[in-house]
């Protein structure tokens, strides 16, 4: 790629999606983290990942006949599967010493370069019963449990890397605020025994030089806040005073993890251009840049499209820019590859639900975390209208997926509403909801449908990534102009917009009207009557969006703009000199 300084980037994330049977993620944030590390391994970027082991996962989703969600632990065992790292560290929580070990998962790149991921684990006989559970549940428990987990992740992670010999030249990437306590560990190291009353601007600057922070959501629940009355007993007096001395406990008496990360990071970014603007207005005192998310192209490309790309543009595997040349792939070959991906999806749907969907029918996919702002049920706003559209413009069927956080009642209600609507629409429009949306079914679904639908409430979709997975597989999006779609959308070329304006203000009624109008007047007629045109849109989705919205391009931007900005300038100067 380009010459990198001799420094390792430590990527800290509360969730990282490594593979299907390792349940260390809940949704988009974890998938992005995994895809980032996969691209780092491909590109040979010196990186190391840090997360928690999450022995009991996020949760396994069960849905009854009415769409009522219940949850059970999703246990997995690292034993015999991951190797233990040869180091042991401890952290202080509630005044106790908590022992922490780590398991090592190697993310292997296309040329064999390995990015190790360390999964921290407190399930050790030396620890108290409660401490042993601290690395069990992702996003489980109460505020106290969450703060304790963040101590293990941030401070434990920093200590673990140190103990493993990662030392001098480090950059730290704080992937969302959960890992922000890492900065406290770095500050303590910088003080080298001096006390909190000695903290000066130079100390803070020394930590800032090492840290990069990515914020991922404008939704308030995504920004952890802990009251000082909880922080002081959990973290201890010394660290609490240190946070105070560094002005990280606000006038409201709370430790805000986002502000902690902002204060100690030299570089801060949002995950799409619009999200940069929104984040900049949320945090006016800190300059916020933008690096738009991507997905790991190989991981999210279905087998038939891998074969097609291998035949036509074999370079795509190590250089995703070559996907640009998909623009020359014959349309028939794209349609054939898609037909295979669609069949694979419908077979899996039949296997999981017993419902046999028709491969000749236009199939819409919608899957992501079930939470109110994502508005999974928007398409059911007017059931009669939807029926009329299917009568007039051609049959359609819809496949849903997505988990609601166990305490997200609004998200759970959404799922029930989809089940209700499904019943009302039978038998004319068939609707299935796939239980337990995870990596493997996400790959099948984003590749196998004919249209990927996304209608979040603006401006709350920071980026969104599932539409990028779809694009790699020639599946166009129909989406509200928010997040990545503002950048990826070329009307009628890569897909379609819901609502004509890319203004940040939502227009719920106009969006529903436009959603129906686009389906009825533009998309369904094209799908059923103008096959060549539809296949051309599919091809553009790959060439224009697959070639750009991938983590290879994204990580190159992080290297150039975030991790080693001075290097980028040097390279430019050298090139000019030549």
Ligand X SMILES: *Cc1c(COP(=O)(O)O)cnc(C)c1O
Binding site for ligand X (CB under 6 A): 27-28, 31, 368, 437-439, 442, 464-466, 469
Q: Which residues contact 487 (CB under 8 A, 6 or more apart)?
A: 272, 273, 292
**SS3 of residue 216 by DSSP:** coil
How far apart are alpha carbons 212 and 463 in whole angstroms? 19
Q: What minimum distance in Å lies between the beta carbon of 133 and ligand X?
A: 25
Q: What minimum distance in Å lies between the beta carbon of 553 and ligand X?
A: 17
- Alpha carbon 467 to its chain's center: 12
Minimum CB distance to ligand X smaller for 338 or for 374: 374
Minimum CB distance to ligand X smaller for 13 or for 240: 13
Q: What minimum distance in Å lies between the beta carbon of 58 and ligand X?
A: 10
Q: What minimum distance in Å lies between the beta carbon of 418 and ligand X?
A: 16
Per DSSP bridges, beta strands 267-270 and 289-290 are parallel
Q: What minimum distance in Å lies between the beta carbon of 219 and ligand X?
A: 12
Minimum CB distance to ligand X smaller for 44 or for 406: 406
Kindly report whether the peptide bond that precedes residue 459 is cis, defined as omega within 30 degrees of 0.
yes
Q: What minimum distance in Å lies between the beta carbon of 541 and ligand X?
A: 15
Nearest C-alpha neighbor of 161 from the set 173, 148, 175:
173
Distance, first Cα to last Cα, the chain: 18
Minimum CB distance to ligand X smaller for 217 or for 234: 217
- Alpha carbon 375 to its chain's center: 18
Minimum CB distance to ligand X smaller for 28 or for 506: 28
How far apart are alpha carbons 325 and 460 in whole angstroms? 33
Greatest pairwise CA separation for the chain in angstroms: 75
- Listing DSSP states for 247-302 in one string gives T-B-TTSEEEHHHHHHHT-SEEEESSHHHHHHHHHHSTTS--EE----B-HHHHS-
Residue 153 in tokens: 């992740």
Minimum CB distance to ligand X smaller for 139 or for 226: 139
Residue 5 in tokens: 């300084």
Residue with tokens 């984003």: 446
How far apart are alpha carbons 260 and 246 in whole angstroms? 9
Minimum CB distance to ligand X smaller for 453 or for 524: 453
Minimum CB distance to ligand X smaller for 156 or for 546: 546
Minimum CB distance to ligand X smaller for 459 or for 464: 464
Q: What minimum distance in Å lies between the beta carbon of 483 and ligand X?
A: 8
Q: What minimum distance in Å lies between the beta carbon of 513 and ligand X?
A: 23
Q: How far is CA 471 from each of CA 26, 214, 279, 520, 568, rounded to the nearest angstrom?
A: 22, 24, 26, 22, 30
Q: What are phi and psi of 553, to 5 degrees?
A: -60, -45
Q: What minimum distance in Å lies between the beta carbon of 249 and ligand X?
A: 33
Minimum CB distance to ligand X smaller for 27 or for 57: 27
Q: What minimum distance in Å lies between the beta carbon of 465 and ligand X?
A: 4
Element (H, E) at 311: helix 303-312
Burial class (CB in 10 A: 0-12, 13-18, 19+), 408: middle
């Amino acid at each position: 790629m380009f010459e990198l300084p001799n420094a390792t980037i430590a990527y800290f994330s509360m969730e990282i999606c490594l593979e299907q049977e390792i349940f260390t993620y809940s949704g988009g944030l974890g998938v992005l983290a995994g895809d980032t590390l996969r691209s780092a391994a491909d590109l040979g970027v010196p990186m190391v990942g840090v997360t928690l082991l999450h022995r009991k996962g996020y949760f396994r989703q069960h849905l009854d006949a009415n769409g009522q969600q219940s949850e059970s632990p999703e246990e997995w065992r690292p034993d015999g599967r991951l190797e233990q790292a040869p180091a042991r560290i401890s952290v202080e929580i509630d005044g106790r010493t908590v022992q922490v070990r780590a398991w090592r998962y190697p993310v292997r790149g296309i040329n064999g370069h390995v990015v190790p991921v360390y999964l921290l684990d407190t399930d050790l006989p030396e620890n108290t019963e409660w401490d042993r559970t601290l690395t069990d549940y992702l996003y489980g428990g109460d505020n106290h449990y969450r703060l304790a987990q963040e101590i293990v992740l941030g401070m434990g992670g920093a200590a673990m890397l140190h103990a493993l010999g990662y030392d001098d030249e480090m950059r730290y990437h704080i992937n969302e605020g959960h890992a922000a306590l890492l900065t406290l560990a770095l500050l303590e190291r910088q003080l080298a025994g001096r006390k909190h009353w000695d903290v000066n601007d130079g100390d803070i600057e020394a930590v800032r030089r090492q840290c990069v922070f990515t914020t991922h959501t404008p939704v308030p629940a995504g920004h952890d806040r802990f009251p000082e009355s909880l922080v002081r007993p959990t973290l201890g007096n010394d660290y609490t005073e240190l946070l105070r001395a560094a002005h990280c406990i606000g006038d409201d008496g709370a430790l805000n993890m986002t502000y902690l990360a902002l204060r100690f990071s030299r570089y801060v970014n949002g995950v799409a251009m619009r999200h940069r603007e929104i984040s900049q207005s949320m945090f006016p005192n800190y300059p916020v840049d933008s690096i738009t998310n991507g997905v790991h192209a190989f991981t999210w490309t279905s087998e038939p499209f891998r074969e097609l790309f291998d035949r036509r543009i074999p370079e795509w595997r190590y250089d995703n820019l070559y996907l640009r040349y998909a623009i020359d792939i014959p349309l028939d070959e794209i349609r054939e590859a898609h037909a295979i991906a669609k069949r694979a999806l419908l077979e899996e749907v039949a296997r999981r639900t017993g419902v046999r969907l028709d491969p000749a029918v236009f199939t819409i996919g919608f899957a992501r975390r079930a939470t109110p702002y994502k508005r999974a049920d928007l398409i059911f706003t007017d059931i009669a209208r939807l029926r009329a559209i299917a009568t007039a413009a051609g049959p359609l069927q819809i496949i849903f997926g997505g988990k609601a956080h166990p305490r997200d009642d609004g998200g759970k209600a959404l799922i029930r509403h989809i089940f209700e609507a499904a019943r009302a629409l039978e038998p004319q429009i068939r609707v299935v909801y796939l239980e337990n949306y995870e990596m493997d079914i996400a790959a099948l679904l984003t590749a196998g449908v004919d249209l990927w639908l996304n209608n979040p409430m603006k401006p709350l979709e920071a980026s969104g990534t599932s539409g990028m997975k779809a694009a790699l597989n020639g599946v166009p999006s129909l989406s509200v102009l928010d997040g990545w779609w503002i950048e990826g959308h070329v009307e009628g070329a890569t897909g379609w917009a819901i609502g004509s304006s890319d203004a940040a203000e939502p227009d719920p009624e106009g969006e529903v009207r436009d959603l129906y109008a686009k389906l009825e007047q533009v998309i369904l007629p094209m799908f059923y009557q103008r096959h060549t045109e539809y296949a051309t849109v599919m091809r553009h989705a790959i060439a224009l969006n697959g070639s750009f919205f991938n983590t290879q391009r994204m990580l190159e931007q992080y290297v150039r703009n975030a991790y080693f900005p001075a290097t980028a300038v040097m390279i430019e100067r050298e090139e000019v000199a030549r």
